[in-house]
Amino acid sequence: MEPRNYIQRQPQPNSEEITFLVSRIPSNISIRIFVLISLLLLVFIITLFAIKYPDSYKGSVTIVADNPSISLVANHQGPVVILKKDHDDVKKGDIVAYIENEASFQEMLALEKTMLNFNADTDFASFYHSLPKIVHVGEINNNYFTFLNALQQYVLFSKNDLYDKQQKLLDNLASKQEKQLHLQKDRVKLINKNDKLGYNKLTRDSLLRDSQIISQQQFEDTEQNYLSALQYNNTTKQEIHKLDQEILSTKNKSTEARILKTEKEEKLISDLYNSYNDLVNKIRAWKRAFLIIAPVGGKVQFLSFLKNNQYINHQDPIFAIVPASNKVNGQMLISDFGLGKIKQSQDVLIRLNNFPHEEYGVIKAKVIKVSFLGNTVKTVNGDEKKYMVDLAITAAGGTILSDGVVGEGEILTDNKRLYERVLEKVILNF
C-alpha cells in the first residue's frame, strides 16, 4: 500500500505548479489565444464552404478531323510519272501523277475533253469531221472507232435523206393519182348522162320499130350503141376502183417509208449513244487505273522517296492529300461510372501522348453529346463497356493537331464544396 500512496501523491506538486503558472498568466494573453483559435476555426469553416472544385471523369481521346488526310494508292503497276512536287498545292481533280501505259497521256486527256462536249445539241457532221482518224489510245481503240463508225452512219443517214426523198415521191404520186381519180369521176358523170340519153333513144326506137317506122336493123344498131355505152361506163367505174386501190397502196408505202425512217433513225441514235457511253466508261476506267487524282484540295505529301519512271506495284500507297484548312474535334471513350453527371457543354481537358502537357499545355474542349448506348471494346483489362462522347476543341494551346493523335481526356463535372466532400468521406467511412 505504501507504493500506491506514493504514486498518488506524486502528481500533486506538478498540479500545484501548473495551477500556479496558469494563475500568473496575464488575462489579455488568454484573450488573444482565444481570439486566435476562434479566427483559425472561423477561417477553417469559411474554407470548407468557400473552396469548391469539380469532379472529373477520365477516358481515352482521339483527335479526328472533319476532312482527314487521304492516302492515294496506285491502281495499276508500272513506271510512274510525277506531275506534282512534295508539298505542292493541288485542287480537287488535279492529276498528281500517272502510270505509263499503251495509251498516250495527252491524247487521252484531249479525247476526254472532246467527248465531254458531245451532246444532243451537237452538230454531228461538224463533230465527226473534227475527230482524229488516227489515235493512240491503247485498249480503247476499238471503242473509239466503234463510236466513230456509229457517228458516221448517222451523219450519212441524215445527209442522204433517202427515206424523206422516197416519201416525197410517193406523196407526189398519190397527189397525181387523186387528180386522175377526180377526172375519172367527172367522166363517169358525163357517161351516165350519155347512157340516159341512149336509153331514151332506145325506148323511142323500140316504139318506132313496133310501129314499123324504122327497121329492125336500125333498132338493133341503137341497142348495140346503148350496150356499148353501158360497157364503157362499167369499164370506167372499174378503172376508178382500181385507181382508189392504187392511191391507198401509194399512201401505205409513204407511211411505211416514214415508219422505216423513224425506226432506222432510232436504231442509229441508239447505236451512237451506246457506243458513246461505252467509250466514256472506258475513258473513266482508264483514268481510275492509270491516273492518280487528288480527291480534295490541299497539299501533296509523298509517302516514300519517289523518282520519275520508278516502277510501282498495284495498291502501293504513294501520295497523301492533306487538306489546307481542316477543323479537328475529339472523340472520347468513357466507362459508365458517373456517366449520368456528364452533360452537354461541360469543360474537358485533353493531354496528348505525343505533346507533353508540361511543355505544350493542355487542350481545352467542351462536351457536344454523349451516346445513349454503350459499346463493348477490348482493353488491356479485357472487354469493357464504353460510351462515346463527342468533343468540340475550343483551344489547342499552341499544339498543331492532326488526325489520329491520341491522348487522355478529363471531363470536369459539377463543382462541389470542400465540406460536402469531407462529409462524403465521413459517411463512406461509417
What integer pLDDT is reported at residue 23 of this predicted model? 57
Sheet of strand 291-293: strand arrangement: 291-293, 95-99, 78-82, 310-312
State yes or no: pLDDT of 401 exceeds 80: no
pLDDT mean over 192-212: 79
pLDDT tens digits, residue range 297-322?
888 989 888 899 999 999 889 998 88
Rounded CA-CA distance 104/133 in Å is 15
Q: Where are the domains of the chain?
A: 2-50, 55-65+327-429, 106-279
Rounded CA-CA distance 46/418 in Å is 10
State yes or no: pLDDT of 344 exceeds 70: yes
What integer pLDDT is reported at residue 20 of this predicted model? 53
pTM for the full predicted model? 0.59
Comparing 66 with 334, which gets the higher pLDDT? 334
Under 8 Å between Cβ of 355 and 399: yes
State yes or no: pLDDT of 47 exceeds 80: no
At residue 262, φ and ψ (nearest 5 deg) are: -65, -45
Comparing 43 with 179, which gets the higher pLDDT? 179
Comparing 45 with 306, which gets the higher pLDDT? 306
State yes or no: pLDDT of 263 exceeds 70: yes
DSSP state of 362: P
pLDDT mean over 5-23: 51
What integer pLDDT is reported at residue 131 of this predicted model? 92
- Cell 481542316 belongs to 326
CATH number of the domain at 55-65+327-429, please?
Answer: 2.40.30.170
What integer pLDDT is reported at residue 371 of this predicted model? 86
pLDDT mean over 207-219: 78
What integer pLDDT is reported at residue 2 of this predicted model? 43
State yes or no: pLDDT of 54 exceeds 70: no
- In the chain, % of residues over pLDDT 90: 23
pLDDT mean over 317-334: 83
What integer pLDDT is reported at residue 165 of this predicted model? 77
State yes or no: pLDDT of 399 exceeds 70: no
What integer pLDDT is reported at residue 100 of this predicted model? 93
Rg of the chain, C-alpha, whole Å: 55
Instruction: Give the DSSP letter string of 228-278.
Output: HHHHHHHHHHHHHHHHHHHHHHHHHHHHHHHHHHHHHHHHHHHHHHHHHHH
Q: How confident is the model at residue 430 (pLDDT cuts 50, 70, 90)?
A: low
pLDDT tens digits, residue range 94-115?
999 999 999 999 999 999 999 9
What integer pLDDT is reported at residue 283 of this predicted model? 95
CATH class of 106-279: mainly alpha
Dihedral sign (CA 377, 379, 382, 384): negative
pLDDT tens digits, residue range 228-249?
878 877 887 888 888 888 888 8
CA dihedral 413, 414, 416, 421 (to 10 degrees): -50
pLDDT tens digits, residue range 346-359?
888 888 887 776 77
Under 8 Å between Cβ of 388 and 60: no
Rounded CA-CA distance 111/118 in Å is 11
What integer pLDDT is reported at residue 7 of this predicted model? 41
Under 8 Å between Cβ of 137 and 108: yes
pLDDT tens digits, residue range 139-189?
899 999 999 999 999 998 888 877 777 778 878 887 887 888 788 777 778
